[in-house]
């Protein structure tokens, strides 16, 4: 009978720890998304637009229209291809149809002199951008009018 009384008190003592961890993770995620959003606006939005749909202010001046980044997951069976996107952004994978100069390779752009050109820091920033991009993915198919 005493064991039954211990369990609720144990939950009262332990639950705040788990709730605090969940809240901390949510705050950390929000911070990463804020950083990713800022980096996206600075480095991607001029071509892809602030909403990622490919309609940035310089899009009509490019040789090839920028991709709609909101449909990457939809085009990949509902999954956001994180590794493939990382390789595109950091320059390890060419972007078909863009050629070598139309889409900047952002791996080097995310390295800053005050960080001694840290590849690790550049990859961290690319990760923030990718997490932000994943947050605005449209995964379901659009409703088409019947008839």
The structure's pTM equals 0.73
Domain 34-135 annotated CATH 1.20.140? no
Any residues with CB less than 8 A from the CB of 117 and at least 6 apart, and which? 111
- Tell me, what's the pLDDT at 97? 47
- Residue ranges per structural domain of the chain: 34-135
- Tell me, what's the pLDDT at 64? 85
Residue pair 39/109 in contact (Cβ under 8 Å)? The answer is no
- Tell me, what's the pLDDT at 113? 62
The tens-digit pLDDT sequence of the chain (147 residues) is 445 555 565 566 666 665 566 678 889 999 999 999 999 999 999 999 999 999 999 999 988 899 999 999 999 999 999 999 998 888 777 775 455 545 565 666 666 666 566 778 888 999 999 999 999 999 776 666 665
Any residues with CB less than 8 A from the CB of 84 and at least 6 apart, and which? 93
Long-range contacts of 16-20 (CB under 8 A, 24+ apart): none
- Tell me, what's the pLDDT at 92? 77
Any residues with CB less than 8 A from the CB of 139 and at least 6 apart, and which? 73, 74, 78
> How many CB atoms sit inside 10 A of residue 62's CB?
15
Any residues with CB less than 8 A from the CB of 57 and at least 6 apart, and which? 46
Classified as helix, coil or strand, 45 is helix
Task: Please give the torsion angle defined by the CA atoms of residues 86, 90, 96 and 101, in that order, rounded to the nearest 10 degrees.
Answer: 160
């Amino acid at each position: 009978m005493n064991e039954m009384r211990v369990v609720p008190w144990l939950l009262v003592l332990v639950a705040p720890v788990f709730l605090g961890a969940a809240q901390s993770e949510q705050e950390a995620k929000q911070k990463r998304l804020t950083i990713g959003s800022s980096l996206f606006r600075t480095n991607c939005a001029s071509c892809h637009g602030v909403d990622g749909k490919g309609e940035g202010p310089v899009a009509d001046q490019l040789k090839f229209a920028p991709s709609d980044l909101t449909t990457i997951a939809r085009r990949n069976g509902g999954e956001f291809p994180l590794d493939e996107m990382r390789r595109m952004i950091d320059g390890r994978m060419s972007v078909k149809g863009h050629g070598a100069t139309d889409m900047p390779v952002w791996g080097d752009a995310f390295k800053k002199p005050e960080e001694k050109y840290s590849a690790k820091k550049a990859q961290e920033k690319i990760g923030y951008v990718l997490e932000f991009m994943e947050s605005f993915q449209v995964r379901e198919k659009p409703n088409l009018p019947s008839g």
